[in-house]
Amino acid sequence: MSRRALTERRKGYGFALAAAFIWAGFILVSRMGGISELLAFDVIAIRYITCASILLPIWWFKFRFKLFTPRLVICSLVGGLAYALCAFSGFQLASASHAAILLPGMMPLFIIALSFLINKERHGLQKWLGVGVITLAVLVLFTGELGLFGGELGVFSGEMYLDIAMLIGDGWLIAAAFLWALFSVLIKRWNITPWQVTVSLALLTALFYLPIYFAFLPKAITQASWQDILLQAFYQGVMATIIQMILYVKAVQKIGPAEMGAVMSIVPVISGIAAIIIFNEVLTLELIIGLLLVSLGAWIAYSSRFNRKKLSKQQLEKKSEKKRELECLT
């Protein structure tokens, strides 16, 4: 590998790590919004008012494309509005450490399954092994939640509401992971570019959601502190929506989607440990096992290390095909 190629690869890993840390921060900041005076409806409004305000003039004056196509509308409804409603409802009820396992952890599982069902993609043993490990992580988390690791569900105590609320929050997060996976599979199937994805998600979701929010939905934004509002606006509207997308695309261009997916497998551990420190969440055995297993499963599913022999064989086949084509031409 040349020095220039090595430098570009290092840059790619730098972009990937930055995107992973922003994604981990998204989980923490979203949980901060969930336990603040803000309602989930408020956080969604803040998110899309901010990113739409930034992207609208860029789209209008510089890189305009047709927004109201059926495919972009469907993607915006699935990956924008529906995903946001489920995710931020989950953040109000479930702990950040649970979100660290269920949101980034369940996404690879659903993406692999849906790409097989919708796009008819054939996955090797490696990906299905990763799916199995992630599924085991989620089962460990829920068995712990139901008291099978020695805890108590709290049915006859004052903790019953907290436990049931946590389970409902976990359900919302799983639904959000499914919706984002469906969105990811659709944009691949329909060949939608990263710029079209970013802009349409921001502008169309804002257009669909904000009139309903201002006219009908409950609000608590006037009771929240300006620090909470600014934090959500900056992180949700700028960092998680725009900056992370740019870093993600740059990383994929330089190191490929498989290596990018492997790097993103650190997100559950980073956000899970940070959640325990920041929110003083209880560190339980099932949580430790769940965090480790979900990261391991995501790494197995996306790492290219298991496919080196396979890749080299494919490269040899391509070279031999090119050689035969040249021989035919000559």
Tokens 């309602």, residue? 39
Dist. CA 170–CA 153, nearest whole Å? 15
- pLDDT at residue number 3: 78
- Which residue type is seen at 223? Q
Instruction: Dig out the tokens for 256 from the structure.
Output: 């490929």
- Which residue type is seen at 49? I
Nearest CA to 51 out of 246, 250, 236 is that of 236
**What residue spans of the chain are helical by DSSP H?**
3-34, 40-61, 70-76, 83-93, 96-117, 125-145, 160-189, 194-215, 226-234, 244-255, 257-264, 267-278, 285-302, 308-329
- pLDDT at residue number 239: 93
Nearest CA to 298 out of 114, 108, 154, 155 is that of 108
Instruction: Give every residue of the chain whose pLDDT is below 70, as ranges.
Output: 1, 142-163, 257-258, 261, 302-330
Dist. CA 223–CA 226, nearest whole Å? 9
Instruction: Dig out the tokens for 20 from the structure.
Output: 């992973």
Domain boundaries, the chain: 3-329
- pLDDT at residue number 151: 45
- pLDDT at residue number 307: 54
Q: Max Cα separation, the chain? A: 84
Global model pTM greater than 0.75: yes
- pLDDT at residue number 144: 60
Nearest CA to 300 out of 47, 125, 130 is that of 130
